[in-house]
Structure 1
Amino acid sequence: MKTIHEPARNVPVYAQPDVLVVGAGAAGMMAACAAARAGADTLLIDAYGTCGGTLTLATLGGFCGTHAIIDDERLGRTVGGLYLDLEGRLIRREGLLEPRRHGKIIGVPYDATALRGVADEMLRAHGVKVLLHTSAVDVQVEDGRVRAVLIENKGGRSAIVPRVVVDCSGDGDVAARAGAGFALGDEGETQYGSAMFRLTNVDQERAGTLTRPMIRELLERAVADGYTLPRTAIGFHINPVPGLVHLNVTKLGLPDGAPFNLADPEQLSAAEVEGRRQVGLYEEVFRKYVPGFERARVVDMGVKVGVRETRMIEGDAVLTEDDVRGCRKPEDRIACTGWPLEIHGRGQATHWEFLPDGEYYGVPWGSLVVKGFDNLLVAGRNLSATHEAQSSARAGGLCFAMGEAAGLGAALSLGHGDRVRGVPVERLQDELQRQGALITPDLA
């Protein structure tokens, strides 16, 4: 049997919000808060039981792309607005540390468990309606408009009939099911995913003295001793909780060395299993080779694999690697970052291409506006970008900023016939800046 017949049926309408946000990660949380803050009746749905997306489910250990280097001594913020609200709430829960610099890489360490509670608190404070354990499974489109998003959860199948949709699903699920064009990596080859994990019983004082190059040298020694480590260039963050360290070190590939296609359900499943195998391997190596980790044990891992790249939805504009390298600041920019190109390709290393000190680039509004649709936006790692540009734009800091812009833009479009292209970009920019978002950060 190749197919079966599924009988037609009437599906109940669950809700008819002004703005539907799909995916509650960095971009989705901010999109929902921004839309609700602007007065839109806003519904946020997510397939998991907690908000935060990659930040709480895969866990990243540190927010990246929120700051840029000014010079050898100073850092400057590139993301403000709602992100500062999030930071403040985490600080009050003792779930955030000061920005830490690793050469030209800057991370803001956070505790993923604290972030789960902060996400709930922040969404509630802004009046967002949240529906968890709910997947968007189909889309109805009419005359270039998303008319309904079909959802499934413990209550069965139902429909949401929104005026505007913001797809923050990471994989661009809504836009793809609606028929939007998209690219998948570089001619089908995406960046490698990683299984993230945290170690407990770590001597944080000793671990904190280690640089990333120092740890890489130790891991390469383990490789020379016969350990088959797929990656020796690592990311690690000292956690706000004493004794905890977050590691971003695994690299998930097929037996032939190619990356898993994490938009394919079978390959995604295999990647999850491979990730857990690698976590055990790296636990052993860190205990044996890295000072401060002698008694370390894995205390938890992400409940889902960390995905860097799947679908990039075609928008009215495309962010390119030349835009990033050239630090371009388009007139219609709605977010910015100084995060470098960060390509997790083949081999044990990570390719970094840093922007000049004191520089940043901007993301155009058109990279969030889905081509061919009147009431559909994207935000987050599924923005309209090239493979190389996305390697920078997917960082959490910029996802926060894009989400806030998309949510506010969706709310403003309600006064323009629910047409996202009807939003005056100058008004969107002015309102973003009035709310504290950074479009022209001070990096002098």
Structure 2
Amino acid sequence: VTLLERYGFCGGGAVAGLSGTVCGMYAATDDRDAPPQQVVHGFLDEFVAALEHRGGLAPPVRYGKTYTRVHDPLVWREAADALLAEAGVRVIYHTTVTGALVEGGERVEGVTAYTKEGPARIRAKVTVDASGDADVVAMAGLPSFVGQDGHVQNPTMIFRLMGVDTARFLEAYGTDTIMGEEVSALIREKGAGNGYTLPRAKIWLFTTTRPGELLCNCTRVIGADGRELNTLYARDFTEAEIEGRRQMREYARFFRDHLAGCEASFVNDTGVQVGVRQTRQARGVSLLRNADVLAGTKFADGIARSPWPIELHAGAKPRVEWLL
């Protein structure tokens, strides 16, 4: 097995995009007093153990009707390196795929890529497109689609805030990482017309494995013309990075000025790149729809399990649909 990676580490959106949490481990319930009930296992258990062994995974924290676990993205890189080495995978970092090797107009036999040594051809019996954007699918000329009728969910710039008195923060706002109406109302009241630009009032703030730190998922990165940016386009991707950093500073300044425990806080870091929620997807034999997920529809060829809700990040207020 050969793994090609454009960055110098593994993890994709979880690390480069700093999404920060291991989601979908625990059942959702309306019982707020119910403890975490893990319902997904398999390789997840092995990876969780690798993170825990290195001190890179926090205990479960409340996320609405379920729980999630915050990871340290630096530890994620090291755990991934170790697991890949143990499995005998040949990893080639800092490599960009440039094309698909297609035989007879149908079968993908590998890819072409560019490394620091120059062009490379990697042939394979099976080629897995793990780009997140169906790049190899598109390069091979195979069917794909973009979002819902071409519309995508907005990207986000996640960042980490240090210097937080997390004990005071939790005492003031509770342990649910989806911030309640008190914080949303404060953003609407203090943010509008008071020198801040805060496009989203419903936000997520997580304590992490590090003392005095919050992981902040709050930005709504949209274009200057008000549309959701599609990072398949170079100009949109660039605009998203710049706008994401600008919004990060605005939210960090607002937290420092108005949230309990954040008075001495400062930005520790952001994602290596803006977090991308939705772009191009491969069009397969059949399509899994939201209604199938919410109905708990079962398929004979099903291979995965996840109790995580459907998140719709479009418009001023995100919408979450739970599978109970």
TM-score normalized with structure 2 length? 0.93
Please report how far the alpha carbon of residue 222 of structure 1 lies from its aligned counterpart in structure 2 after TM superposition.
2.3
Q: Answer 1 or 2: which has greater helix percent.
A: 1
How many residue pairs align between the two structures? 314
Distance 1:110 1:255 in 2: 33
Please report how far the alpha carbon of residue 215 of structure 1 lies from its aligned counterpart in structure 2 after TM superposition.
2.4
Distance 1:333 1:76 in 2: 22
| Residue among 44, 48, 52 paired with 2:11 | 52
Mapping for residues 76-225 of structure 1, pairs under 5 Å: 76-143=37-104, 144-209=106-171, 210-211=173-174, 212-213=179-180, 214-225=182-193
Mapping for residues 270-419 of structure 1, pairs under 5 Å: 270-347=239-316, 349-356=317-324
Contact preservation (8 Å) 1:257, 1:346: no
Q: Mean alpha-carbon deviation: is it higher for 60-69 or for 171-180?
A: 60-69
Distance 1:133 1:306 in 2: 19
Amino acid paired to 2:125: R
Distance 1:117 1:216 in 2: 36
Distance 1:222 1:105 in 2: 30
Distance 2:238 2:66 in 1: 31
| Residue among 215, 218, 221 paired with 1:246 | 215
Amino acid paired to 2:149: E
CA change 1:78–1:177 in 2 (3 A) is: farther
Distance 1:225 1:202 in 2: 26
Contact preservation (8 Å) 2:30, 2:65: no
Distance 2:107 2:259 in 1: 55
Contact preservation (8 Å) 2:28, 2:308: no
Secondary structure, aligned partner of 1:232: coil
Distance 1:228 1:277 in 2: 9
Please report how far the alpha carbon of residue 148 of structure 1 lies from its aligned counterpart in structure 2 after TM superposition.
3.1
Secondary structure, aligned partner of 2:323: coil
Please report how far the alpha carbon of residue 205 of structure 1 lies from its aligned counterpart in structure 2 after TM superposition.
1.2
| Residue among 192, 196, 199 paired with 1:230 | 199
Distance 1:62 1:170 in 2: 17
Secondary structure, aligned partner of 2:50: helix
Give deviations 1:22-50, integer Å, cap 9, x for gaps.
xxxxxxxxxxxxxxxxxxxx111110011
Cα root mean square deviation, aligned? 1.4
Secondary structure, aligned partner of 1:59: coil
Distance 2:112 2:304 in 1: 31
Please report how far the alpha carbon of residue 60 of structure 1 lies from its aligned counterpart in structure 2 after TM superposition.
1.4
Please report how far the alpha carbon of residue 189 of structure 1 lies from its aligned counterpart in structure 2 after TM superposition.
1.1
Where does the alignment leave 5 or more consecutive residues of structure 1 unmatched? 1-41, 357-444
Distance 2:264 2:90 in 1: 44
Amino acid paired to 1:142: E
Amino acid paired to 2:166: Q
Please report how far the alpha carbon of residue 70 of structure 1 lies from its aligned counterpart in structure 2 after TM superposition.
4.6
Give deviations 1:255-274, integer Å, cap 9, x for gaps.
22211011111110111011
Contact preservation (8 Å) 1:70, 1:76: no
TM-score normalized with structure 1 length? 0.69
Contact preservation (8 Å) 2:230, 2:279: yes
Please report how far the alpha carbon of residue 69 of structure 1 lies from its aligned counterpart in structure 2 after TM superposition.
2.1
